[in-house]
Amino acid sequence: MPEAPLTRHDAGVSDIDSLYQPTHDEYARQRLIGVMRNHAFHKLRDDVCTEYETKVAPALKAAGKPVPDDGHGIDRVMQQNDLYRFYSTIRYNSQEMMYQSVLNPIERVAPDMNAVGQEIAARHNARGTLKIAQGFELPRYVTAMDVHLAPGCFHSEYTTNDLVQGAMLAQGSRVGVGGMAHRRETGAVGQSIAHWLAAKYPDFKPRRILDIGTQSGKNLIPYGEIYPQAELYGIDVAAPCLRFGHVKAEQEGVAVHFSQQNAEALDFADGYFDLVVSSFFFHEVPVPSTRRILRECYRVLSTGGIMTHMELPPSKLASPILDFMWDWDTKNNNEPSYAAFRAMDPTVLCVEAGFTADAMIETTVPNWSSYTPEQNAKFYRGEAQVPRHGRGGWFIFGARKMIAPT
């Protein structure tokens, strides 16, 4: 009898990323897209700012017209500007191309991926867990559109135990930052904040850490390096991302407890966590949901516990031109809550949720990457007073839960 051909399933694959390696031409395309995005995010973005400051605003002034003093006003003026339109075109198309460029390699192995993923997780056995809820109701703000132009968004499932969407988002973002050497490929944000927390609060030793909107846990896993004694929990509404995250964490040897939950109504007991974090999360959530989620963060934090959320800096801290540039995604990237979230004051939101104003944390955390702070600084166009977003640092807001006054 002829032997059955060896499948990937039999081959003892130990790293899920090795399944969807691109061909030479696919890799060349991915690199090109990474470089194109880097060009748009840095050189073109700076050129648009300079164009506004040195040409558009002076021309308005010379014509006796009002010069806008906020991002919305600049938006109205710049919509017809050729350089801005070119920048927008490159950003929009490279965002779509970023996901397209990883779909072929992933689809080639998609039929095997779920089973192989389960095997990888079982073989490594880092003792993390995965809980997918039965009959889970996804929020409308996730299902209504392909958020940040990702085909199928975070949550779409095509087969049983599907994790393809998680792989696509992880690989897409890897391509996206591929041309941006100053950002570490994975987990730069979690790594930066974990190091910052350890330096700022040397006596703080969280026993349990929760990451909300964790997706596949890439910005949660670095907390395990800094706080090896802590239990790590990641929640998200998107089952494929959680399944993929479970495989990745197990293969990296980090025990993470992933569960499918809506951050607006967590199933954890009051005071269960000492540290609650998130990254790139709140700008995707409508403001009423943000309020509910922050109340949940307050509830599940222990007294003395810390909450830090990495986000786009709020409008109140941005120069008008940066405010305009940072809101690009609202209209162009299927992230309709972006500008509304940035218009809110983090202190007001946190105080509404139960935190005290004097316990607020609002700062820029230096990017912990392969670059030194001096090298990071060169990505910055001299906006010393403006908090950073990805260029040498990450803006965070949050608070420490203080002992209630008696």
Q: Which residues bind ligand SAM (CB under 6 A)?
A: 139, 142, 154, 189, 212-215, 218-219, 235-238, 241, 262-264, 279-281, 284-285
Which is nearer to ligand SAM, 52 or 282 (by Cβ)? 282
Q: Output the CA–CA distances (angstroms, integers) from residue 283 to 39, 72, 91, 233, 329, in the order listed.
A: 24, 17, 19, 21, 10
For residue 112, the SS3 value is helix
Dihedral, CA of residue 173, residue 179, residue 181 and residue 186, to nearest 10: 10
- Show contacts of 56-65: CB within 8 Å, 24+ apart: 56/81
Which is nearer to ligand SAM, 119 or 211 (by Cβ)? 211
- For the bound state, the minimum distance from the C-beta of residue 190 to ligand SAM, rounded and expressed in Å, comes to 7
Cα–Cα distance measured from residue 284 to residue 236, given in angstroms and rounded to the nearest whole number: 13
For residue 183, the SS3 value is coil
- For the bound state, the minimum distance from the C-beta of residue 384 to ligand SAM, rounded and expressed in Å, comes to 27
Residue with tokens 């990937």: 8
The b-or-e profile of 250-286 (16+ CB within 10 A means b, else e) is bbeebebbbbbbbbbebebeeebbbbbbbbbbbbbbe
Which is nearer to ligand SAM, 29 or 246 (by Cβ)? 246
Which is nearer to ligand SAM, 236 or 250 (by Cβ)? 236
Tokens of 317: 């801290």
Q: Output the CA–CA distances (angstroms, integers) from residue 78 to 51, 52, 73, 196, 322, in the order listed.
A: 10, 8, 9, 37, 13
Residue with tokens 């299927």: 334
Which is nearer to ligand SAM, 20 or 338 (by Cβ)? 338
Q: What is the separation, in whole angstroms, between the first and last Cα of the chain?
A: 81
Cα–Cα distance measured from residue 139 to residue 237, given in angstroms and rounded to the nearest whole number: 8
Which is nearer to ligand SAM, 29 or 309 (by Cβ)? 309
- For the bound state, the minimum distance from the C-beta of residue 358 to ligand SAM, rounded and expressed in Å, comes to 28
- For the bound state, the minimum distance from the C-beta of residue 237 to ligand SAM, rounded and expressed in Å, comes to 4
Q: Output the CA–CA distances (angstroms, integers) from residue 199 to 27, 359, 365, 370, 399, in the order listed.
A: 39, 18, 11, 19, 16
Tokens of 35: 């470089």
Which is nearer to ligand SAM, 56 or 102 (by Cβ)? 102
Residue with tokens 């998200």: 236
- For the bound state, the minimum distance from the C-beta of residue 3 to ligand SAM, rounded and expressed in Å, comes to 42
- For the bound state, the minimum distance from the C-beta of residue 305 to ligand SAM, rounded and expressed in Å, comes to 19
CB-based closest residue to ligand SAM? 213
- For the bound state, the minimum distance from the C-beta of residue 24 to ligand SAM, rounded and expressed in Å, comes to 29
Which is nearer to ligand SAM, 212 or 276 (by Cβ)? 212
- For the bound state, the minimum distance from the C-beta of residue 188 to ligand SAM, rounded and expressed in Å, comes to 9
Which is nearer to ligand SAM, 16 or 147 (by Cβ)? 147
- For the bound state, the minimum distance from the C-beta of residue 397 to ligand SAM, rounded and expressed in Å, comes to 15
